[in-house]
Amino acid sequence: MVQKLDTLIESPSQTAGPYVHIGTVPTYAGLGGIYEQEIGDSPIADGAKGEVITITGTVADATGWVLRDAMFETWQPDAAGKFAGDAGADPAVSGWSRVCADPESGEWTLKTVKPGSTTLRDGRVQAPHISVWLVARGINIGLQTRIYFEDEDNSADPLLNRIEQRPRVDTLIAKRTGDGEYRFDIRIAGPQETVFLDI
């Protein structure tokens, strides 16, 4: 006899906590030997075309406390602005990765190729950027944001131009710190809160 399911109620939502790491990046969580190489370890393979860059940063809460268990996924096009699966896309660029903060310092590092501009269906051109989906302890629903670059022309980007509080645009801009090196710190809340997207 099949039991009716009309008496069940939705269970409460929970934060990512430590379990998201166990399920998605087990080596990082201390469970070695599951994968030879962590899934999503890098968005590029050897031979990727374009400028190879390194972005570093931290994820901090409203008090400035660095979250050492932050994890995020990135999605980006190749150096020519083509996504994996597009005609002519660079086969050495998957464009997707998982990035974890160092459990001691909270610092994270993403090594990739600098993405090219992409064109929307209506013909508008987006400035080079990397999309980010972020989870950490205390976050119930993953946060979405983007990484743009200060040495690119971002003036016509459709998304950046929709931000009414213009000083907040700066929270989406990675600062160049050296040759092929950038800094991008994410703030969950507070005076310098990163712009998050409702998508």
Q: Is residue 197 part of a domain?
A: no
The answer to whether residue 1 is domain-embedded is no
Residue 198 included in any domain: no
Domain membership flag for residue 93: yes
Q: CA 97, CA 91: separation in Å to the nearest integer?
A: 15
Is 29 a domain residue? Answer: yes
Question: Total domain count for the chain?
Answer: 1
pTM of the model: 0.88
**Sequential pLDDT tens for the chain (199 residues):** 566 666 767 666 656 655 566 667 777 767 777 777 777 889 999 999 999 999 999 999 999 999 988 899 999 999 999 999 999 999 999 999 999 999 899 999 999 999 999 999 999 999 999 999 998 877 778 899 999 999 999 999 999 999 999 999 999 999 999 999 999 999 999 989 999 999 7
Looking up residue 131, the CATH number of its domain turns out to be: 2.60.130.10
Domain contains 9: no
196, part of any domain? no
pLDDT score of 179: 97
d(CA 198, CA 166): 18
**159 is a domain residue:** yes
Q: Which domain holds residue 92?
A: 19-187
* pLDDT computed for residue 34 by the predictor: 73
Quick one: pLDDT at residue 38? 74
Amino acid 37: pLDDT: 73
